[in-house]
């Protein structure tokens, strides 16, 4: 008996699934044409932006796999990374040793905060996304209390040059020149684009590739398969004997630690820490970057994380220049990209709620 031919997926569902990334590709192309942006200029900008942001976007994948949705709480991990960067800078540890020390210091802080966030998610089952958002606001308040008031007053502090004039609290901006490009220049490479040398962060790209491989490997482990089962149907997973609450905490801890390390990549590339604001938009922009690739609240892949990072930050480069050329004001482009970030998140959440309601009504 001849084998039955494989059923082909209709073209229409494929196009519907790829509608969001195709729309962003179109916006980027039209913006580049309108702003007279050359491919070489775009490559130069994206080399740095992709290296800064890729790990932060990858930190969102494990909670989605476990059915926790979009982890707005990664901002808590970003604060852990910033605290480690501040400590390393004040200790004067420079170069790759300083960056490695910051990684080591950030990990236990992120683990503790991740356990606390995971415990909160277990108490707020079904409302993890809004709980993560509110937890981020609470953690931001605690972070500012420590670094704006306690440092220099309750916590002894001898580096007067980074304190505010009243003698306590850190300054708004801290120079991270000790760890700037610590990883990016580990394998030094410069290429000439448009007549000027451009840094190519090969070591950072290699570590991003390692994070991608770890994500893929993790999904094939026993724990990864348990998280996948939880994400598909937590009730069936509980009946099968999978420890739901413990695994949810583990998924949150992994995401928080990855976010802390991702924020350190961001800071070492930038070289400057805005003490009280560098972390504030980490969750929103990372989630928006993931969603523009076609990912959803319930399903996201490593490839989508990489594609989304490229598309979203290409739009970040293109929109201010296109706004200045078309309307005479670059700020219009800034407003547009912030609008896009919030719009894609809003649409994703509305679609998730609609699909959830549809499943309930049909069952």
Identify the structural domains of the chain with CATH numbers, from first to last. 18-356 (1.10.3470)
Average pLDDT over residues 217-241: 92
Question: How far is it, in rounded angstroms, from Cα 269 to Cα 266?
Answer: 5
Q: What pLDDT digit, counting tens, does each position of 62-108 carry?
A: 999 999 999 999 999 999 999 999 999 888 899 999 999 999 999 99
| Cα Rg, the chain, nearest whole Å | 22
Residue 1 has pLDDT above 60, yes or no: no
Q: Which residue has the higher pLDDT, 20 or 249?
A: 249
Q: Is the pTM of this model over 0.85?
A: yes
| 152-202 per-position pLDDT tens digit | 888 887 777 788 888 888 999 999 989 999 999 999 999 988 778 889 999
β-partners of residue 273 are 174
Tokens found for residue 101: 């020390």
- Res. 244 pLDDT band, cuts 50 70 90: very high
d(C-alpha 193, C-alpha 218), whole Å: 38
Q: Using 50, 70 and 90 to split pLDDT, how confident is the model at 36?
A: confident
Q: Among 31-35, 42-46, 258-262, 350-354, which stretch is predicted with the lowest mean pLDDT?
A: 350-354
User: What is the pLDDT averaged over residues 264-290?
Assistant: 91
- pLDDT score recorded for residue 146: 92
Alpha-carbon torsion angle 177, 183, 184, 188, nearest 10: 110
């Amino acid at each position: 008996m001849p084998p039955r031919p494989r059923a082909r997926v209709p073209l229409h569902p494929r196009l519907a699934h790829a509608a969001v990334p195709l729309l962003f590709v179109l916006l980027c192309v039209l913006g580049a044409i309108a702003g007279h942006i050359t491919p070489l200029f775009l490559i130069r900008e994206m080399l740095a932006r992709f290296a800064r942001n890729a790990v932060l976007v990858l930190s969102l994948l494990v909670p989605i796999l476990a059915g926790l949705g979009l982890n707005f709480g990664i901002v808590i991990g970003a604060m852990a990374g910033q605290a480690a960067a501040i400590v390393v800078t004040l200790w004067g540890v420079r170069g790759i040793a300083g960056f490695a020390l910051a990684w080591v210091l950030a990990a236990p802080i992120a683990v503790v905060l991740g356990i606390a966030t995971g415990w909160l998610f277990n108490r707020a089952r079904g409302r993890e996304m809004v709980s993560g958002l509110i937890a981020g606001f609470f953690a931001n308040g605690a972070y500012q209390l420590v670094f704006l008031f306690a440092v220099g007053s309750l916590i002894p502090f001898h580096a007067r040059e980074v304190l505010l004039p009243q003698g306590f609290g850190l300054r708004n901006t801290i120079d991270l020149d000790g760890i700037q490009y610590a990883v990016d220049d580990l394998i030094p490479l410069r290429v000439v684009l448009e007549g000027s040398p451009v840094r190519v962060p090969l070591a950072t790209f290699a570590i991003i590739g390692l994070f991608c491989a770890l994500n893929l490997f993790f999904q094939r482990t026993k724990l990864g398969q348990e998280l996948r089962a939880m994400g598909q149907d937590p009730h069936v997973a509980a009946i099968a004997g999978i420890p739901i609450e413990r695994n949810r905490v583990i998924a949150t801890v992994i995401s928080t630690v990855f976010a802390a390390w991702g924020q350190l990549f961001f800071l070492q590339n930038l070289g400057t820490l805005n003490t009280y604001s560098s972390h504030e938009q980490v969750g929103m922009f990372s989630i928006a970057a993931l969603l523009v690739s076609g990912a959803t609240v319930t399903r996201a892949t490593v490839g989508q994380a990489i594609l989304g990072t490229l598309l979203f930050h290409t739009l970040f480069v293109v929109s201010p220049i296109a706004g200045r050329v078309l309307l005479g004001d670059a700020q219009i482009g800034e407003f547009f990209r912030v609008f896009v970030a919030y719009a894609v998140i809003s649409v994703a959440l509305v679609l998730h709620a609609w699909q959830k309601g549809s499943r309930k009504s049909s069952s």
